[in-house]
Chain A
């Protein structure tokens, strides 16, 4: 597992006066890490730090020893990122083309490329949709495609920013089962608290800080108390 090191990170977006992250320090090397917190608590910015999409105003972020500020490209080869809205992530018109887009840096051609794409689509049950327009897939299938396009590059770490938020219960469960079966290290942000059952570690964000860092049950209790929902 790559070691994730976040050290004294603070960040404020240009158009805002309020910091979105305040002096966050954490080291993560567990296989399954959950991140929970209310909207605006800073968890999405935290996720974007991990592949260098956001470079912090202060502090450093290292993935497997690579600084996201200096080695952004190499960090992004290590870290796959799955967005909340798969429509924003799917950049090619058809299903197979989108998976192939992820592999362009591997210099694969012809049969080798087609085999690799077919294997990725089979893994996610999308093989029958290979040549279909991506925009005609259902929400769940789009999220599966987004995940397939990320995982086909074999990243060491997958960061998933609320991948089930736009999905119905059935598709959310499908994604949750797939995440549970991944060999890769996963950092999962979610509002669906049952998704982090069985995770190794859960961080709770509030107002730009990590206010709880524990096993899932204790972290969820802390989160519920924080938002006044009780048990």
Chain B
């Protein structure tokens, strides 16, 4: 399951908090994590972020599941840091990445795309005079998030079709139909947007 496309409905304080405040909080956390010098302080911050999951009604197991694809990267970063620096630096770097990914995940899980894109629309408001259409940028974000599960679904269908035909894994045989189907989906979505009055 992709973290990017997930919003978990709920009524926790974090769910009710305005999206702008959550994004500011995320920014503040990123700055704070850089300002904290010691690895133990960063670990404490990680515990706080982890603790925010159950407080928001989301299980820790779910929190850790979204890191599945990241473990190998974290391991590689950790080993590299031990070799070129020291183990306290390695712990600091790995914990910082972990806590920021988990915090960003928590914001995503507790914020609807509409609320998130509304913030972007507000932030881009002053750029209207330069020809920027903030609503279009907001829609682009929503469409991109919506496209993630669709493209993953297309990839699954192609993999299944290849297996059913006994074909070995070939990057070209996978990429070409995926690209064609993704473009067809984009064309259909374009038609749907026009039919739903996007050109108003």
Instruction: State the A residues within 8 Å of B (CB).
Output: 48, 51, 53, 72-73, 76-77, 80-81, 83, 85, 87-94, 97, 100-102, 105, 130-135, 149-150, 153
A100 to B, closest residue via Cβ:
B114
Contact A93/B113 with A133-B6, A135-B150 known, Cβ cut-off 8 Å: yes
Contact B5 A97 (CB under 8 A): no
Tell whether, in the assembled complex, residue A92 and residue B192 are in contact, meaning their CB atoms are under 8 Å apart: no
CA separation between A157 and B36, bound complex, in Å? 62
> A80 to B197, alpha carbons, bound, how many Å?
10
- Say whether A94 contacts B196, CB under 8 Å: no
Whether A92 and B114, one on each chain, are in contact in the complex, defined by CB atoms closer than 8 angstroms, is yes
Q: Are B150 and A93 in contact (CB under 8 A)?
A: no
We find that the number of chain B residues with CB closer than 8 angstroms to chain A is: 26
The answer to whether B146 has its CB under 8 Å from any CB of chain A is yes
| Residue pair B192, A97 in contact (C-beta under 8 Å) | no
Complex Cα distance, B194 from A75, in Å, reads: 11
Contacts of A92 in B (CB 8 A): 113-114, 142, 146
Q: Within residues 116 to 152 of chain B, which ones have a CB less than 8 A from any CB in chain A?
A: 142-143, 145-146, 149-150
A53 partner, pick from B5, B9, B143, B191, beta carbons under 8 A: B191
Interface residues of B in 137-187 (CB under 8 A from A): 142-143, 145-146, 149-150, 153, 185
A80 closest partner in B (C-beta): B195
Complex CA distance for A43 and B28, rounded to whole angstroms: 57
Q: How far is the CA of A102 from the CA of B200 in the complex (A)?
A: 11
The answer to whether B112 touches A83 (Cβ under 8 A) is no
Query: With the chains together, A149 CA to B7 CA distance in Å?
Result: 20
B185 pairs with A131, CB closer than 8 A: no
| Contact yes or no, A149 B195, CB < 8 A | no
Is the CB–CB distance between B199 and A90 below 8 Å?
A: no
Knowing A91-B146, A134-B146, say if A83 contacts B188 (CB, 8 Å).
yes
Q: Is the CB of A88 within 8 A of B189?
A: yes
User: B146 contacts which chain A residues (CB < 8 A)?
Assistant: 90-93, 134-135
Q: Could you list 5 further interchain pairs (A-B, Cβ under 8 angstroms) beyond the known A76-B200, A89-B188, A150-B196?
A: A51-B195, A73-B197, A92-B142, A93-B112, A131-B112
Residues from chain B with Cβ under 8 Å of A48 in the complex: 191
Q: Does any Cβ of A come within 8 Å of B64's Cβ? A: no
Query: Please, how many angstroms separate the alpha-carbon atoms of A135 and B196 in the complex?
Result: 19
- Does B21 lie at the interface of the complex (its beta carbon under 8 Å from any beta carbon of A)? no
**CA of A132 to CA of B6, assembled, Å:** 9
User: Does the CB pair B197–A91 fall under 8 Å?
Assistant: no
State the CA gap A94–B161 with chains docked (Å).
29
Distance of B57 from chain A, by nearest CB (Å): 13
Do A85 and B188 have beta carbons less than 8 Å apart?
Answer: yes
Q: A88-B188, A88-B192, A93-B5 are in contact. Are A105 and B197 (CB under 8 A)?
A: yes
Cβ–Cβ < 8 Å partners of A135 in chain B: 5, 146, 149-150, 153
Give complex CA distance A126, B199 in Å: 28
A-B contact list, 19 entries, CB within 8 Å = A53-B191, A53-B195, A73-B200, A87-B153, A88-B185, A91-B146, A92-B114, A92-B142, A92-B146, A97-B113, A97-B142, A102-B197, A105-B200, A131-B112, A133-B5, A135-B150, A135-B153, A149-B196, A150-B196
Give the chain A neighbours of B60 by CB distance below 8 A: none
Contacts of B195 in A (CB 8 A): 51, 53, 76, 80-81, 83, 89
Looking at B112, B185, B196, the one whose CB has the most chain A CB atoms below 10 A away is: B196
Minimum CB–CB distance for A100 against chain B, Å? 7
Interface centre among A105, A132, A133, A134, by most B CB within 10 Å? A133
* Complex interface: chain B residues within 8 A of A101 (CB): 196
A143 to chain B, nearest CB (A): 13
Please name the residue on chain A nearest to B195 by beta carbon: A81
Partner of B197, one of A53, A76, A100, A130: A76
